[in-house]
Amino acid sequence: MVSGVLVIEDDDRIRLSLVLALEDEGYSVRGVSTAEDGLVAQRAEPADTVLVDLMLPGVDGFECIRQLRRDDDVPIVVVSARDDTHDIVAALEAGADDYLVKPVAVKELSARLRALRRRGRAVLATVSTLVFGDLEILPEAGEVRVAGEPVALTRTEFRLLCELAEHPGLVLSRQQLLQRVWEYDVGDERLVDVHVGRLRQKIEDDSRAPRRLVTVRGMGYKLQR
């Protein structure tokens, strides 16, 4: 099945080059120049993945990400010239799954899109339910519950939680999680930290004092019962 990509980029030259390059990689691609048009397009005909620039006219990329995330769990990749740590973390906290700094190599972008697509597939299919106190993870159904109540996770958050749950009580380093969840041999460890923070907000009673998803200083993260 051909994967659909929506490109939200106000620079005509960059937008066209991304559309043509991704079409050459086998994707079905639509391009729009504003966040407003992108939100309308995604709601009318959802793409499998959305690429978003941050410096958009009108509604900016950060708000565009937040609105996309409110609608569904579509994978979102930021493609921006802004490489400041604050911008990267803010975009990830808004709901982006990944962040690439321009100029972007099309082969790298395509590889990341493929990894995002694989991330949406079922994981731990041989395990019906994983239980950590009142936290229940149902890998086959793609569901998570806390105290019996369903919790909405993005695909990346769900894959990250399942990876930690598969190794209960064991510490996984940020680099291990980048390799297993994002499929990156080398990557920005802030991706892991921000997604862990987002997970804690959804599965912990107090995300500032986590009991389940804990940090082991100097080593990484673990999920404990």
Amino acid present at 105? A
Which whole number is the average pLDDT over 143-163? 92
Please provide the average confidence, as pLDDT, over all residues in the chain. 91
- pLDDT for 100: 93
User: Residue 177: pLDDT above 50?
Assistant: yes
User: Residue 129: which pLDDT band, with cuts at 50, 70 and 90?
Assistant: confident
**Please, where are the H alpha helices in the chain?**
12-24, 35-44, 61-71, 85-94, 106-119, 155-165, 174-177, 190-203
Q: Compute the distance between CA of residue 108 and CA of residue 38 in angstroms, rounded to an integer.
A: 23
- pLDDT for 188: 82
- pLDDT for 122: 46
Exposed / middle / buried, residue 34 (Cβ in 10 Å: 0-12, 13-18, 19+) = middle
Amino acid present at 183? E
- pLDDT for 120: 59
- pLDDT for 114: 86
SS3 of 156-202: HHHHHHHHHHCCCCCCECHHHHHHHHHCCCCCCCHHHHHHHHHHHHH
User: Residue 202: pLDDT above 50?
Assistant: yes
- pLDDT for 124: 47
Kindly state the DSSP code that residue 150 receives in the 8-state scheme.
E
Is the whole model's pTM more than 0.85, yes or no? no
Task: Give the chain's largest Cα–Cα span.
Answer: 52
User: Residue 175: pLDDT above 70?
Assistant: yes
User: Residue 74: pLDDT above 50?
Assistant: yes
Kindly state the DSSP code that residue 127 receives in the 8-state scheme.
-
Tens of pLDDT, residue by residue over 18-29, are 999 999 999 999
User: Residue 143: pLDDT above 50?
Assistant: yes
- pLDDT for 66: 96
- pLDDT for 126: 52
Tens of pLDDT, residue by residue over 50-68, are 999 999 999 999 999 999 9
